[in-house]
Amino acid sequence: MAVDGLPQRQVLGYRDQLAPDGFARFLDRGAWFADAHYRHSFTVTAAGHATMLTGAYPHRTGVIGNEWRDPVSGAQVYNTGDTGATYIGHRTNPLDGTSPRNLKVETVGDVLRKADPRSKVIAISGKDRGAILPAGKTGTAYMYMGASGQFASTTFYMQQHPAWVNDFNAKKPADRFFKTEWKPLLPEGAYARSIPDSQPWFGPRGGKLPMMMGVAADDAPGPAYYSALLASPFADMLSLEFARAAIAGEQLGRDDAPDILSVSLSGHDYVNHRWSAESRLSHDHMLQLDRMLQEFFRDLDQAVGKDNYIAVLTADHGFMPAPEYSQSKGLDAGRVNSRQTLERINAGLAQRFGEGRWVINYSSASLLLDKKLIAQKQADLDAVAEEARRLLLAEPGFDSAYTRKELLSGSRAGAPHFAASRLAWHPDVSGEVQFTLKPNWMFASSSGSSATHGSPHPYDTQVPILVYGPKWVKPGRVDSPVEVTDIAPTLARVLRVSAPSASEGKSLPLSSP
């Protein structure tokens, strides 16, 4: 299980307000790892979801971000984009996520199905990338459709949905939340440790509980309403309901061939982007998730049997505090205007190397240079990259930057964030200058995000790794450092199959089954 955008600090920060059997099942009766991190520098949704069940960082998976640019053409690439596959029963746009084509490595599920084709691998998420990347090459992914409130797979996996999916969608479960209010679970005083509603940095949309689902003027659910459910507890409720339907419809855990169910709950990421992890809305959303997990585990115990499954919960990344919140604490923080920064870098490059747009654009967390222009002007590629790096580091908010030559050679070993940048950079996919931002700085967002993620700083890299299962899982807190890449080889050992071939993690210190 993954909770998109859940930093470890939130799991522990509200521990006294948790229900008895949600997150507390892991913290009180399972094994939990207090020092669990990602080690790559660009911590975003696709990169994290590609790491969880492959045991590999972006330098091996090839999934360097949510989107990037083709190094040759400069065209946009979406992490799970594939024009050869379409959504079943839904419109498919050119950059929609429909297959794992860009994932260069295998998952635990791929290894498991190779060992025993009877095993099933089902992945479910509010986001396409949250389902497709954990499903791997041989599993089956289902994702929430913001246009309809339904769940759908793609023609990469099948030509039509099985009956249980059609039955679920036919009931239109998302419609029942229309004109429903998201209300806080606890009395006002219980939220004293989080930021009150309606902060100035929330933007023109504001943010205040209780919050109505569906615009008051609407007389029936529509695409705007279904999409809006993602930044609330209700889309996560639907994802868990669909997971229950998948367990019953696919008969998961009912025979001697082990199955994998991956559920990525996307709502927390949308909430934290819009209002920040320090907000009361995020605080309450965390508690809502906790109660949902309690109900889901109760049903899973009944459907599969309490000792017949192992549950691992993590996140794809953490979350930074909003820059304005950090500034209020006296910290250096701010927002980078990406367009203006790029214009200044190109102006500086033109001054030295001649007229032209030397940097095509950002590509994930790197700068993509125009190699055709460089060849045409007979400029030295390494010299252009080095000057682009110098100009970038002169801009406000940038912390480190390394060129392709340095990343390939390892010549800057020990420099700030160099190791993390190498893990985030793929030679076939990334640009020529890989960069990181300073702590508490972010790119200004056209979508109006209050806060974001995507850095090598602890607020983005430290995530929960929580494990609950049969009696052989030794309960308690583990303080030794671990990484999210350790999850895949651990599950492979439990399943008695080989670790995925690109895995670079080690098995977590759990008792043996």
pLDDT at position 204 is 77
**3-state secondary structure at position 75:** coil
Interval 42-81: pLDDT, tens: 999 999 999 999 999 999 999 999 999 999 999 999 999 9
Interval 254-282: pLDDT, tens: 999 999 999 999 999 999 999 999 999 99
Amino acid residing at 248: A
Which CATH number describes the domain made up of 2-76+104-325+456-495? 3.40.720.10
Interval 15-41: pLDDT, tens: 999 999 999 999 999 999 999 999 999
pLDDT at position 513 is 56
Tokens of 54: 């492959």
Interval 279-327: pLDDT, tens: 999 999 999 999 999 999 999 999 999 889 999 999 999 999 999 999 9
Which of 250, 98, 100 has its CA nearest to residue 164? 250
* Mean pLDDT for the chain overall: 96
d(CA 93, CA 218): 26
Q: Where are the domains of the chain?
A: 2-76+104-325+456-495, 334-438
pLDDT at position 203 is 79
Under 8 Å between Cβ of 127 and 264: yes
pTM for the structure as a whole: 0.97
Bridge partner residues of 328 (DSSP): none
Angle of CA points 281, 12, 126, to nearest 5°: 50
Which of 232, 259, 256 has its CA nearest to residue 243? 259
**3-state secondary structure at position 76:** strand
CATH among 3.40.50.970, 3.90.79.10, 3.30.1360.150, 3.40.50.300 for 334-438: 3.30.1360.150
Task: Reply yes or no on whether the pLDDT at 447 is more than 80.
Answer: no
Mean pLDDT of 165-182: 97
pLDDT at position 93 is 94
Under 8 Å between Cβ of 136 and 110: yes
Mean pLDDT of 436-456: 92
d(CA 31, CA 10): 18
Residue 475, judged by CB atoms within 10 A of its CB (0-12, 13-18, 19+), counts as middle
Task: Reply yes or no on whether the pLDDT at 206 is more than 90.
Answer: no
Interval 389-437: pLDDT, tens: 999 999 999 999 999 999 999 999 999 999 999 999 999 999 999 999 9
Left, alpha or beta for 356 (phi > 0: left; psi -120 to 50: alpha)? left
